[in-house]
């Protein structure tokens, strides 16, 4: 699987997603946040400490990516790595909420 742009810029938001997810999980689901194993995650750049959460955290991870990371972090992440991807980001973002008067 290709994990870089045509220009060779690596597209792997592991750390960007992982750190924010851990914080979000501690704040919103502390019981599940406490259930993880430490392991060394390998990439071409080296090995890095990471957390492996229980499978029960998967739906929360999907919720986090859809509602937090894509909205708050993805624009800056792709702006510096693959600006062309920014044109597609609105298709992934949830529709803006209507204000209730």
Predicted model pTM: 0.75
20 and 69 in contact (C-beta within 8 Å)? yes
Domain boundaries, the chain: 14-92
> What pLDDT, in 10s, does the model give residues 14-65?
777 888 999 999 999 999 999 999 999 887 778 988 999 999 999 999 999 9
Report d(CA 95, CA 39) in Å as an integer. 37
> What pLDDT, in 10s, does the model give residues 3-16?
666 666 666 667 77
Instruction: List the structure tokens of 73.
Output: 């972090």
């Amino acid at each position: 699987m290709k994990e870089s742009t045509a220009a060779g810029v690596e597209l792997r938001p592991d750390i960007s997603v992982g750190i924010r997810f851990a914080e979000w999980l501690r704040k919103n689901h502390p019981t599940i946040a406490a259930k993880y194993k430490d392991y060394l995650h390998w990439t071409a750049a080296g090995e890095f400490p990471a957390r492996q959460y229980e499978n029960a955290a998967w739906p929360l991870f999907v919720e986090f990516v859809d509602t937090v990371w894509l909205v708050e972090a993805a624009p800056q992440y792709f702006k510096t790595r693959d600006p062309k991807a920014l044109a597609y980001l609105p298709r992934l973002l949830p529709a803006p909420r209507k204000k209730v008067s």
